[in-house]
Structure 1
Amino acid sequence: MKIKNYILVTIALMLSLSVFAQQGKQKRADTLFNKFSFVKATELYKELIENNYNTDYATRKLADCYALMRDPKNAAMYYKKVVEQKNAPIDYYYSYAQSLRGIKDYKESQIWLERFKDSGGVVNSNDFSKDINFISNIFNAKQQYFLDKVNFNSKFSDFGAIKHNGKIYFTSSRDEGYAIKRLYGWNEQPFLDVYVVDEDSKVNPDYTNKIEGDVNTIFHDGPVTITKDGKHMYFSRNNFKDNVEKKDEHGLTTMKIYRATLKDSLWTDIEELSINSDDYSTQHAALNSDDSKLYFSSDRPGGFGGSDIYVVDILKDGSLGEPKNLGNVINTAGAEGFPFINSEETLFFSSDGHVGLGLLDVFASINNENGDIIDVINLGVPVNSSKDDFSFTMNPDATTGYFASNRSGGQGDDDIYAYNRVPYLIVEGVVSDAINNNPIPNSKITLYDGSNNKIAYMETDDKGYYSINIDRNKDYKIVGSHEKYIEDYRTFTSKNLQTELTKITANLLLNPVEDVVKLAELNTIYFDFDKHNIRKDAALELDKIVNLMQNVYPDMVIRIESHTDSRGTLSYNDKLSIDRANSTYEYLISKGIDPSRITEHEGFGERRLTNGCEDGAKCEEEAHQLNRRTQFIVVKME
């Protein structure tokens, strides 16, 4: 039976993937990365690479994860893959050079540093010594945080903002009705109190916005943290109880942490915690993700410097265990304070003892797979400045939150700043039938960059919908195709977009072709390792295709796609796959096939592995063999 229509056939065995599962996995991996949960993120990025989903992007993020975890061996291995990618940002040349220094490969490191400089990169000689942390610039290379003004600052000190159940709690000295006292030796201010406003409030709070109950006193109160169930509040306060202010042996009033309970909308039943003392300060309470641990700052004896960060277990009955100093990775001879723990157990804190941009800077902990803190990283600008930057908090979305700073340009002494990380940008759309406008499920979506490099692909869901994460400030082309339709494409750009914009819509319309039939039962063509000649078994299969094109479907038009395994460099494998495509093409031509019936013969190197045998993976030869293949796509029959 003669078939006269368009047809699309892929001969090689391909692994069927749940595309939306991969999209969700990438989004989860990126969220974990943004929450500084690098161990968990590495697992997901590896899975994305194994599934050949947005491999270039996942490899870059995986390399960054290892670098941030201070694992130069693995970082160098994956950065090597990154710098071999087409159009890899030159910042990765620098990161690769740094990681090579981490494994003491100074000669190769210098080569990549020179490539970075030759490509336009600027190197500060003070930032590239043997002793410098090899990944110091990953989070600082590009601006990740963008600041938003809040409408509840005053001319006095405002800090300690947290969001809980649609309300924002913060600490302020704006009430001028009390005595004047120096706050932490910074500026003379009225005493601190705790305030609360609705998240969407447009009114600048005054004394009427103080939280109700017994938390606020005539002395300093705040900042606060609240348990997830909203029933308890931990807060800092001067050593003041029963209307009596106590002083230490030097005549100074220390700080303590207290716990309040919410009853009938009032914060009451104030309890002093067992970790307090009249002889030293205990303050800046923070809770971990399940409220089982309390973090705090204290200048108690036995620490490393002026004030250190500690943690203590909260027992089931509400009592506390023995405080534990977090050690000298976090604590220095200077002052550490204002701890905050996000949902992935990453510690954020302020310090003037770690290398920073100014006075107090905000830092984040780097944890290993056992949860141990192995290093810290400066959050960089604009969170940090040349002044004091502190009381950093993060909302559950990991992209928004608050911190405080006394930098110039503010409204008062210490001001609260809201921040947001640049949100994910996606291109989304629906692929529809151009005749009846019905959605086309399982359409193939391919994304290309401005240089026509393929960077992502997926299939539409049962409603014809697709969604792909993309980078900002780039040009793209999106192509939709289906075996029963003629492909359609759209070009678009993500340049000069507002930060708040998170979606670009690119709907596609495909015109149908009739009576498409799929050819099958043709064997895959394989090659020997590092060879591009046609083997005897491959020649037999090619002869079948010659017979098919000459005697069964004389009008059939095809294209050829050839591939390699992962061994060898990316550029070498690109050339080898092209040689294989050429060999296949030349064989068919030599057997009498008209060249006009082969639209393309392309090589894709190792970019489309059929399994998880990427660089570094332990695979048997049989598994590598599956990747050394040629595929035929029958694109036209008349």
Structure 2
Amino acid sequence: MKLKHYIITSLVLAVNLSALAQSGLQKKADNLFNKFAFVNAANVYKELISKNDNADYATRQLADCYAFMRNPDEAVIYYKTVVQQANVPTEYYYKYAQALRGIKDYKESRVWLKRFKDAGGDINDSKFLKDADFINTIFNAKPQYTLKDVKFNSKYSDFAAYEKDGNVYFASSRDEGVLKTHNYGWNNEPFLDIYVKAETDTVVSTKSKIKGDINTVFHEGPLTISKDGKTLYFSRNNFNKQVLGKSNEGITNLKIYKATLIDNKWKNIEEVSFNSDDYSVSHPALSNDDSKLYFTSDMSGGLGGTDIYYVDIKNDGSYGTPQNLGNVINTNKNESFPFINNEGSFFFASDGHPGLGLLDIFGTVSDNNKIVSVINFGIPVNSSKDDFSFFMSEDGLSGYFASNRDGGVGSDDIYAYDRTPQLKIEGTITDAKTNKPIANATVTLLDSNNNQIATLQTDNNGHYEINIDRDTDYYVNTKKEDFLDKIIPVTSKGVEKSVTSINANISINPNTNKVTPITELQPIYFDFNKYDIRRDSTVELDQIVSLMKTTYPNMVIKIESHTDARGTVDYNNELSEERAKATYDYLINKGINPARITSYKGFGEQKLTNQCNGTVPCTEEQHQLNRRTQFIVIRMQ
């Protein structure tokens, strides 16, 4: 029995949550993404893109989803779009380069790797020669998790930390005691016992061992506890009622035992029915609804090494037949230490999937409750050594893992992690005069250099939410038709780590000088290759003169003239300028004050009204629609 494979890891998942605006649909996608449900998240991001709802951001997230799912063929498609976006974070040059490596397009990968370096990216060229680095770069882009010290490690093995109701349960071989010569031959350390550390405990000693009949003179290891806190499953050597069981080969394997809490002590120890003397059953983990018990075993019929299995827990407390999780999870090497978090996401350790060294921690991707892919979490969760026994708290913001990496206190050590909560700006946009909320106002997040990061519309209650980075300066720009624009500065610098929201209510003033659209100002048209005012056009121009002189004596306009796509660009620019000048001269000659025409400008063929750009056949009538002068109302009063 390789008890060395009892291990725990820190989940430092560097998900790119750069500042972004959240619609309801986007919030759904991001929640799925942050819970590692990448297949479902990808489907929602596709829906966001189809609706043009913060599409640039959704495309970035969709590309990341496929990268996390180790599907570079799809990732390349979306990263190719992403790297063309304005103000895209330079890390995406790096991600695109790695995705291109995933489809063996090494030449193009080096192009984007150089772009990343030229943009100031910090990289080590040698890393890109290894396929395993593809996934690592994604998770290391911007860590959301940080490691913290664990004070209760010993000079021996400590691992399998599990938190329940304020207590931390863990396995440790620290008890030298009177039986210190009775050591485990594998590592020459004392046998493992289960310890409990209360939140207020400052010292963990032999008095901290779990209460009841759990610990023996042999190994006790990883455990899991039911939601109601009354049932405990744990690993132990094949030793029960003072009898040490052995296989036909004389090996004492691992078994899973069940205990019941009675008067704050764990008693009534009994084996689970699917144990065997001939193979190991260990590392119990309950599903988040207590309906399934997952475990590690080397029973016959597996894929090789140790595999992960599960059994259904029936209403009467009995167990179903062990089911192998299949070849998405299991390999011909060793898979172990299953864990299911509060959201139902599955985690495990393996040395059979591509990794950084020995055992690595992996997450999974599920589609319709079926695991379809695994994810190596990369560094600093994984190292070149053993990393295993992952645990996440119910709120998903902290947890534990174990590792025998360099720099530890003992042979295996417990590591803890904290997750920095996402910070957001939120508030309500209101009418400054009436204090009523304004629905469908456009709220845009800008960085300190006024580059647009994301945009959204307020909901029916005038509310908005925008995810932001910490220790960063921003501007929030609010726009609404018939209201004056308003820009306010917002900073997340100095905000406490526990704070998750910055309130930024914004009142905007009605625009009393708003422009009223006038349908009477119709465009006029020109003959091919001419700028003379046609007879039919004088009718429209005379109507404009009448409106400006009588109906709207303070109206101010500007003139914009255009051509069709025939002819050279330079010639068309000159021709449109002549048409704009001819239109301007006509109005001035009719008595319009030049001060009431702010500009007259030609745009050549830049603003065609149809598809007649020279690439498709068009009728003369279609070309005619592009040979026009338009009148833009600047001010009415």
- TM-score normalised to the size of structure 2? 0.73
- Specify the code of the residue in structure 2 equivalent to 1:216: N
For 1:163, the equivalent position in structure 2 comes to 163
Provide the rounded CA distance (Å) in 1 between the counterparts of 2:284 and 2:260. Answer: 15
Q: Which amino acid aligns with 1:261?
A: T
**How do 1:117-516 residues align onto structure 2 when only pairs under 5 Å count?**
117-121=117-121, 122=123, 124-125=125-126, 127-128=128-129, 135=135, 137-177=137-177, 179-180=179-180, 181-182=182-183, 185-186=186-187, 188-198=189-199, 201=200, 203-343=202-342, 345-367=344-366, 371-374=370-373, 376-431=374-429, 438=435, 440-442=437-439, 443-460=441-458, 465-472=463-470, 475-483=473-481, 485-494=483-492, 500-513=498-511
Output the amino acid matched with 1:127. Answer: F
1:285-310 Cα deviation digits (max 9, x unpaired): 11223333222112333444442322
Q: For residue 566 of structure 2, what is the aligned residue in structure 1?
A: none
1:340 Cα deviation (Å)? Answer: 1.1
1:496, distance to aligned residue in structure 2 (A):
8.1
Deviation string 1:139-179 (CA, Å, 9 cap, x unpaired) is 23443431122444444433222233444333334445463
What residue number does 2:35 align with?
35
* CA 1:107–1:513: 2 relative to 1, 3 Å: closer
Shift of 1:222: 2.8
Three-state SS of the structure 2 residue aligned to 1:63 is: helix
Match of 1:60 in 2: 60
SS at match of 1:193: strand
Alignment partner, residue 13 of structure 1: none
Alignment-derived partner of residue 12 in structure 1: none
User: What are the Cα deviations for residues 404-440 of structure 1, in whole angstroms up to 9, with x where unaligned?
Assistant: 223344444433222133431212345466679x464
Amino acid at match of 1:307: T
Q: Specify the alignment match of 1:44 in structure 2.
A: 44
What's the CA shift for 1:41? Answer: 0.8
Match of 1:82 in 2: 82
Which stretch has the larger CA shift, 512-521 or 52-61?
Answer: 512-521
CA distance in 2, matches of 1:560, 1:226: 76
For residues 524 and 227 of structure 1, the distance between their equivalents in structure 2, rounded to whole angstroms, comes to 75
SS of the residue aligned with 2:274? coil
The TM-score, its normalising length taken from structure 1, stands at 0.72
Letter in 1 for 2:291: S
CA distance in 2: counterparts of 1:185 and 1:364, whole angstroms: 29
Instruction: Tell me what 2:71 maps to.
Output: 71
Mapped contact 2:580–2:602 kept (Cα < 8 A) = no
Partner of 2:4: none
Distance in 2, matches of 1:37 and 1:524, equals 54
Verify the 8 A CA contact 1:557 1:598 in the aligned structure 2.
Answer: no
Q: Which amino acid aligns with 1:246?
A: G
Q: 1:6 matched to which residue of 2?
A: none
**Aligned letter for 1:271?**
E
Letter in 2 for 1:172: S
Cα deviation for residue 554 of structure 1 reads: 5.5
- Whole-Å Cα distance in 1 between the matches of residues 450 and 164 of structure 2? 46
- TM-fit CA distance, 1:391: 0.7
Structure 2 unaligned blocks of 5 or more: 1-19, 524-536, 561-568, 588-593, 607-629
* Residue 627 of structure 1: aligned partner: none
Deviation of 1:403 (Å): 0.8
Q: Secondary structure at the match of 1:275?
A: coil
Distance 2:483 2:581 in 1: 28
Whole-angstrom CA distance in 1 between matches of 2:102 and 2:545: 58
Q: Is the 8 A contact 1:56 1:85 kept in 2?
A: yes
Alignment-mate amino acid for residue 425 of structure 1: L
Equivalenced residues, count: 554
User: Contact (CA 8 Å) 2:470, 2:493: kept in 1 or not?
Assistant: yes
Query: Would the alpha carbon gap of residues 403 and 136 (structure 1) be closer, same or farther in structure 2, given more than 3 Å must change?
Result: closer
Matched-pair contact (CA < 8 Å) for 2:260–2:268: yes
CA drift at 1:450: 3.6
Give identity over the alignment, percent.
51
Shift of 1:185: 2.7
Task: Tell me which residue corresponds to 2:3.
Answer: none
Provide the C-alpha distance between the structure 2 equivalents of 1:319 and 1:544, rounded to a whole number of angstroms: 93
CA RMSD of aligned residues (A): 4.6
- Code of the residue aligned with 1:161 in structure 2: it is A
